[in-house]
């Protein structure tokens, strides 16, 4: 489209599956966009890795392609990054990765979670002990792969890695570093106690800035390669979840964002720091507030997995129309097939790294369509339980839910979610909602909008509103009580099965020939910050 006069902003979203570059005007309208894919690997059950060296080429390719459609690239005034959170990599002084990046959904650090996930650690970082924060995976690295950290110049989140390529500086934003769980959420700075758990030195971490701060101009070589002015500013960004909240204009506790990405998130704002195991707490970009989120790592990951392994997988990642139509014909409840969607462990409210997925109620009459619909219903039931817990802990009923992410491309999934939640769901008007959130931060950082509230009003919009079906909602209400009973009754079985996988079926899981002692059970994981290990599977504080 032809942009109206004024500066243009590039929002870059380096996510788990690809890097996207979207050029926005000050009204939040997309002028051009492009993306470049990223690959992940899973060398062992529960392990999820990515070659961090591909982050920059993918980002560079996406930006070049987006700028190729602009008649006047000279109008670009700023670049701002959003990204997959919690993923990290240790690098040498030239930003060369020393190992595969360990991703946010990686579940290798269960023992470290059990040992270090104490109440004091959770209070300091605001995040329940879980597979997601980098803190525990860094402790795993220190224990099993110390050579990755010893001598490393820096340990970087995705934002910091890309900012180094853009500006030459070793810096990141607090909103990007905070999800790693290395910051004291009250002081907004690195915590000595948490760094001791992680086994990382303070001088191995990038300098911290607030989201919206100007980090400096693009490196001359980057500006020249992209055909941009040498004055284009790089603005400190934020994680993709917080960015999605801004893109949905969620600035207080009465609204929530429902991010249907690889993971499913329900997020809202809290006017204070009130830690709870009903959600995880993040530094908010709104002054004086915190962002609180529920989290399920098996989001669109799960139907995508199903289509890839058991059905048809369209090349663009979109839902399979034939499978969607067949699942829609099945009807609410999937003829008694119930799914616990813990393919990547359990997060809110159980925070159990040993949990696994369950499909209960199989009969000979069930088909692929029943199984597919049951996956979607299982995710939706988890979202409802998480939203109920968030509202109870936060003390505010969410009146407006705004959905975004790849899952909104499925009309069936959208309707199931709305029926289970029993309230309308608004679909955000901008598909690349996290990139829009980054552009909003850039606009405020440049002074083009005076504050985030003004920028959100000017740059966000909603599209279709999905309304719930009362009859379907009544079915899901009855099923929800059954769904909530499955995990408590199967928890011990899940844990025993996990032990079988690690001890018998894949006994070399933690083997490292470079370790002085390759037995993963021998090295002392160190003392927890406070006395006894925390029972991380409890659902209440």
- Element of type H or E holding 360: strand 358-360
Closest-CA residue to 113 (of 124, 126, 127, 129): 129
Eight-class DSSP state of 437: H
Structure tokens at 51: 């070659």
pTM for this predicted structure: 0.87
- Element of type H or E holding 35: strand 30-37
Q: Identify the structural domains of the chain with CATH numbers, from first to last.
A: 8-248 (3.30.420.40)
Q: Are 459 and 24 in contact (CB under 8 A)?
A: yes
The neighbour count for residue 312, using CB atoms within 10 Å, is 11
Q: Are 356 and 492 in contact (CB under 8 A)?
A: no
Q: Dihedrals φ, ψ of 400, to 5°?
A: -130, 125
Q: Are 376 and 324 in contact (CB under 8 A)?
A: no
pLDDT string in tens for the chain (541-residue length): 555 678 999 999 999 999 999 999 999 999 999 999 999 999 998 899 999 999 999 999 999 999 998 989 999 999 999 999 999 999 999 999 999 999 999 999 999 999 999 999 999 999 999 999 999 999 999 999 999 999 999 999 999 999 999 999 999 999 999 999 999 999 999 999 999 999 999 999 999 999 999 999 999 999 999 999 999 999 999 999 999 999 999 999 999 999 998 889 999 999 999 999 999 999 999 988 999 999 998 888 999 999 888 877 665 667 889 999 999 999 999 999 999 999 999 999 999 989 999 999 999 999 999 999 999 999 999 999 999 999 999 889 999 999 999 899 999 999 999 999 999 999 999 999 999 999 999 999 999 999 999 999 999 999 999 999 999 999 999 999 999 999 999 999 999 999 898 787 666 554 444 443 334 343 455 556 654 443 433 332 2
* Most distant pair of Cα atoms in the chain: their distance: 66
Residue with tokens 């997309």: 30
The number of C-alpha atoms within 13 Å of 141 and in the hemisphere containing its C-beta is: 25
Residue 152's SS3 state is coil
Q: Are 128 and 536 in contact (CB under 8 A)?
A: yes
Buried b (16+ CB within 10 A) or exposed e, 244-280: bbbbbbbbebebbbbbbbbbbbbbbbbeebebbbbbb
Query: Which residues, in sequence order, are bridge partners of residue 33?
Result: 22
Query: Which residues, in sequence order, are bridge partners of residue 145?
Result: none
Q: Are 194 and 124 in contact (CB under 8 A)?
A: yes
Q: Are 340 and 332 in contact (CB under 8 A)?
A: no
The residues, any chain, with a CB within 8 Å of residue 453's CB and separated by 6 or more, are 251
């Amino acid at each position: 489209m032809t942009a109206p006069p004024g500066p243009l902003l590039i929002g870059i979203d380096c996510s788990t599956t690809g890097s996207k570059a979207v050029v926005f005007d000050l009204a939040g309208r997309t002028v051009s966009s492009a993306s470049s894919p990223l690959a992940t690997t899973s060398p062992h059950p529960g392990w999820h890795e990515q070659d961090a060296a591909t982050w920059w080429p993918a980002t560079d390719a996406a930006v070049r392609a987006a700028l190729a459609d602009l008649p006047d690239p000279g109008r670009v005034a700023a670049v701002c990054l959003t990204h997959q959170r919690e993923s990290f990599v240790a690098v040498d002084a030239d930003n060369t990765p020393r190992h595969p990046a360990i991703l946010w959904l990686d579940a290798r650090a269960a023992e470290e979670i059990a040992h270090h996930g104490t109440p004091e650690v959770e209070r300091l970082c605001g995040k329940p002990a879980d597979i997601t924060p980098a803190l525990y995976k860094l402790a795993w690295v220190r224990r099993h792969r110390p050579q990755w950290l010893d001598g490393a110049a820096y340990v970087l989140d995705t934002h910091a890695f890309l900012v180094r390529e853009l500006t030459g500086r070793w810096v990141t934003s607090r909103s990007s570093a905070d999800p790693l769980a290395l910051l004291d959420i009250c002081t907004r700075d690195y915590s000595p106690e948490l760094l001791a758990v992680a086994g990382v030195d303070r001088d191995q971490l990038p300098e911290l800035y607030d989201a919206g701060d100007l980090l400096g101009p693009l490196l001359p070589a980057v500006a020249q390669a992209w055909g941009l002015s040498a004055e284009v500013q790089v603005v400190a960004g934020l994680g993709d979840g917080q960015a999605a909240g801004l893109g949905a204009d969620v600035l207080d506790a009465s609204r929530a964002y429902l991010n249907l990405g690889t993971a499913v998130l329900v997020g809202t704002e809290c006017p204070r720091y009130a830690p709870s195991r009903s959600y995880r707490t993040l530094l908010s970009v709104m002054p004086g507030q915190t962002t609180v989120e529920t989290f399920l790592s098996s989001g669109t990951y799960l139907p995508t997995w199903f289509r890839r392994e058991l059905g048809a997988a369209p090349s663009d990642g979109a839902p399979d129309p034939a499978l969607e139509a067949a699942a829609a014909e099945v009807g609410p409840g999937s003829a008694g097939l119930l799914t616990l969607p813990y393919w990547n462990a359990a997060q809110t409210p159980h925070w159990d790294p040993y949990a696994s997925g369950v499909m209960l109620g199989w009969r000979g009459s069930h088909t692929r369509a029943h199984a597919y619909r049951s996956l979607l219903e299982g995710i939706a039931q988890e979202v409802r339980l998480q939203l109920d817990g968030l509202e109870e802990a936060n003390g505010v009923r969410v009146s407006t839910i705004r959905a975004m992410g790849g899952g909104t491309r499925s009309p069936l999934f959208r309707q199931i979610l709305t029926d289970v939640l029993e309230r309308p769901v608004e679909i955000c008007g901008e598909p690349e909602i996290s990139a829009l959130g980054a552009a909003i931060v850039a606009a405020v950082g440049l002074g083009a909008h005076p504050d985030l509230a003004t920028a959100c009003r000017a740059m966000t919009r909603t599209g279709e509103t999905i309304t719930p079906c009362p009859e379907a909602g009544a079915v899901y209400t009855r099923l929800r009580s059954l769904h909530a009973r499955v995990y408590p009754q199967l928890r011990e079985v899940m844990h025993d099965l996990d032990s079988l996988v690690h001890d018998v079926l894949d006994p070399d899981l933690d083997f490292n020939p470079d370790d002085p002692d390759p037995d993963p059970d021998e090295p002392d994981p160190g003392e927890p910050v406070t006395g006894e290990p925390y029972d991380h599977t409890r659902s209440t504080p």
